[in-house]
Structures are given as C-alpha cells and as structure tokens.
Amino acid sequence: MGWCYFKNNKRMRDFTISRYIALLQILQKQNFSFQPFSEFIENPKEKAVMLRHDVDLLPYNSLKTAQIENELGIRGSYYFRIVPESYNETIIKQIADLGHEIGYHYETMDTVSSKFKVQGLKFKEEHNLIDAAYEEFCRNLEMFREIVSVETICMHGSPRSKYDNKMIWDKYDYKTLGIIGEPYFDIDFSKVGYLTDTGRRWNGDKVSIRDKVNSPFNFNFRSTQDIINSVGKLPDQVMFTFHPQRWNDNWYPWIKELALQNIKNQVKRLIVIASPTKEDAAIPSCKGLLRYTRNDG
Ligand SMILES: [Zn+2]
C-alpha cells in the first residue's frame, strides 16, 4: 500500500504527485474524456473518466491536484465536508475558478446523532433522526450555494458510525433540492467501472466499510502502477475516487499518511471480520483505536 513495483524489481513510492500525474497522462493517452460528475449525468461521453475527489481533510492537497489537472486541461469534481478540516471557502472558490465542479460530501446522519448523544438525548424513532439530518443537510447545502453552485453530492462514510449517511434518502429526495446526482444512486456501476484509493490501495474492499459499490469488474489493482500497466483493460466509463490528503511528494506527510493508514486498515479489518452481516457495526474492543478512523479513506 505504499509502493509501486516495476517488472525489473525496482520500486517507487506510490501515492505521490508524480504517480498521480503519470496516471492522468496515461488516461489522456487512451483518449478518455474527463467529465465532472454533473456533466456525466447530463451528457455522458462514450469514453469517459470521472475524477471524484473526497476532500476529507487537508484541503491544500486538493488545491494542488486541482491545479495539476487544470494544467493538463482536465476537469474533475471536488466534494467538501462541512467540518473545519475540510471546509475552506477560499480553497473551494479557487478550485471552482479552475473549472472544477464542487459538491457536498455530506455526513449529517453522523453529525446529528453525535450532537444528540452529547446532549444526552435520544431519538424516539429513527425517522426523527432522518428528519433532523435532512434539515441540517439543507442548511449546509445553502451555505455551500452562497459561494458556489452545487449540483451533485456524495456521502462521506465514517466506519465508526452507527448510521449510513445515505439513509436520509430513504425518506427524502435530493432531486427536489436541485441536486442531480449522488454517485451511489445515480451511476450504473454494472457498466461504469469504479476505482477508489480508499485504504491507500486500489483493491481495498477488504478494508473498506462504506466506500463500496456493486460492480461486476474485478480489477484487483494494488498500486497506481498496476492501473497504469493495465489501462487498456479499463471499461469505457470509469469513476476514480481520490482522497487528495494521501497524495504527497514530501517524505514526512507521505510516511505519516502511510503509518496512519496501516492502523486504520487494521481497525477496519477488525470491524469487517466482527460484523460479517452488518458491516457498519463497530465492536466494543476497537473503541480505543477507532478514533483513528474518522473517515473511510
Ligand atoms: Zn469522505
């Protein structure tokens, strides 16, 4: 999860900016069009790549990938959370000015349930929690829309949470809010390939709690170089999810991310093993370590 291996046994650090650029360039060489998610929803090209960036934290890293893509003539989608470690209005505007799409990475089932827990209150029924989460979602969406236009959303998945943030849509319809797409609902993943760097690997379904889709494709790429080597085998339409906080050229943040991800993956693996039927249930013995798993990245 930290290295690319080449045929001559040489190895190179993975999840660096240079590997990121190499991946984008090989996709360009294969004549993929790069479409922001909203554009794909409205007018999907036959051979298209969507670059989705979940800005879980360290928004400056996202500004960096946004600039790199802009230099290559590529547009992607950036999903920000409403938490101080992600939401930075200056950066959001800068990324929008570079031509990228901005979306809302929502998690209000989590935030509302935690607020009530802190206040020692309990929801009488789950639909009351959904109502409160929906209201908070609407307020947050308005906040985003005061600075940029937002047409698509995607859920943030926290493995330690009891709730799936998508539960709001069991009761409400985001389309009434002018939202045209949520990847987990509006992409047919039986046709569109899905690759995510969740878990700092490209085959992380064993450690991913929520960033999963039902897909017939079995890519099993370990490193970014594996994708580069097999780029010709990708389907014609693909969504990539990146967590830009993990893509670093400098050694210190790169090693820090690698070490933290090792711990997170161990914890997530325990959760998955402990909950084979209900994948999102946390086990009590993990509690001390779970504070490291703030996101599903
Ligand atoms: Zn996230």
The residue to which tokens 């990539």 are assigned? 240
* Distance between Cα 124 and ligand 1 center (Å): 28
pLDDT band at 293 (very low <50, low <70, confident <90, very high): very low
* Distance between Cα 210 and ligand 1 center (Å): 10
Q: At residue 248, does pLDDT exceed 70?
A: yes
* Distance between Cα 147 and ligand 1 center (Å): 21
Residue-wise pLDDT tens digits, 213-227: 778 888 889 899 999
Cα–Cα distance for residue pair 18/287, rounded to 1 Å: 37
**What helix, strand, coil percent values describe the chain, rounded to 5?**
45, 15, 40
The domain defined by 3-290 folds into TIM Barrel (3.20.20)
Say if CB 194 and CB 143 are below 8 A apart.
no
What contacts 159, CB < 8 A, 6 or more positions away? 209, 210, 267, 268, 271, 280, 282, 290, 293, 296
Residue-wise pLDDT tens digits, 249-282: 876 676 777 777 777 777 666 665 555 443 333 3
Distance of CA 215 to the CA centre of its chain: 17
* Distance between Cα 46 and ligand 1 center (Å): 28
* Distance between Cα 242 and ligand 1 center (Å): 10
Query: Which class for 237: exposed (0-12), middle (13-18), buried (19 or more C-beta within 10 A)?
Result: buried
Range with the lowest mean pLDDT among 31-40, 109-118, 204-213?
204-213
Q: What pLDDT was estimated at residue 250?
A: 78
Residue-wise pLDDT tens digits, 23-68: 999 999 999 999 999 999 999 999 999 999 999 999 999 999 999 9
* Distance between Cα 297 and ligand 1 center (Å): 6
Tell me which range, 91-95, 128-132, 210-214, 216-220, is most confidently predicted by mean pLDDT: 91-95
Q: What pLDDT was estimated at residue 272?
A: 57
Cα–Cα distance for residue pair 262/250, rounded to 1 Å: 19
Q: At residue 179, does pLDDT exceed 90?
A: yes
* Distance between Cα 9 and ligand 1 center (Å): 34
Domain boundaries along the sequence of the chain: 3-290
Q: What pLDDT was estimated at residue 127?
A: 77
Residue 38: enclosing H or E segment and its boundaries?
helix 37-42
* Distance between Cα 107 and ligand 1 center (Å): 9
Q: What DSSP designation does 132 have?
A: H
* Distance between Cα 54 and ligand 1 center (Å): 5
* Distance between Cα 59 and ligand 1 center (Å): 12
* Distance between Cα 44 and ligand 1 center (Å): 25
Q: Are strands 3-5 and 11-13 parallel, antiparallel or unpaired?
A: antiparallel
* Distance between Cα 111 and ligand 1 center (Å): 14
Residue 171: enclosing H or E segment and its boundaries?
helix 168-171
Q: What pLDDT was estimated at residue 1?
A: 63
Mean pLDDT (whole number) for 130-156: 97
* Distance between Cα 6 and ligand 1 center (Å): 31
* Distance between Cα 226 and ligand 1 center (Å): 24
Q: Whole-prediction pTM value?
A: 0.85
* Distance between Cα 118 and ligand 1 center (Å): 23
Q: What pLDDT was estimated at residue 229?
A: 93
Range with the lowest mean pLDDT among 15-19, 98-102, 262-266?
262-266
Cα separations (Å) of 286 from 29, 133, 160, 289, 293? 45, 26, 10, 6, 11
Closest by Cα among 135, 138, 130 to 165: 130
* Distance between Cα 47 and ligand 1 center (Å): 27
Q: What pLDDT was estimated at residue 140?
A: 98
* Distance between Cα 235 and ligand 1 center (Å): 25
Q: At residue 239, does pLDDT exceed 90?
A: yes
Q: Which two tokens stand for residue 51?
A: 């670059």
Range with the lowest mean pLDDT among 153-157, 181-185, 206-210, 256-260?
206-210
Mean pLDDT of the chain: 85
* Distance between Cα 253 and ligand 1 center (Å): 19
* Distance between Cα 49 and ligand 1 center (Å): 20
Quickly list DSSP for 55-98.
E-S-HHHHHHHHHHHHHTT---EEEE-SSTTT--HHHHHHHHHT
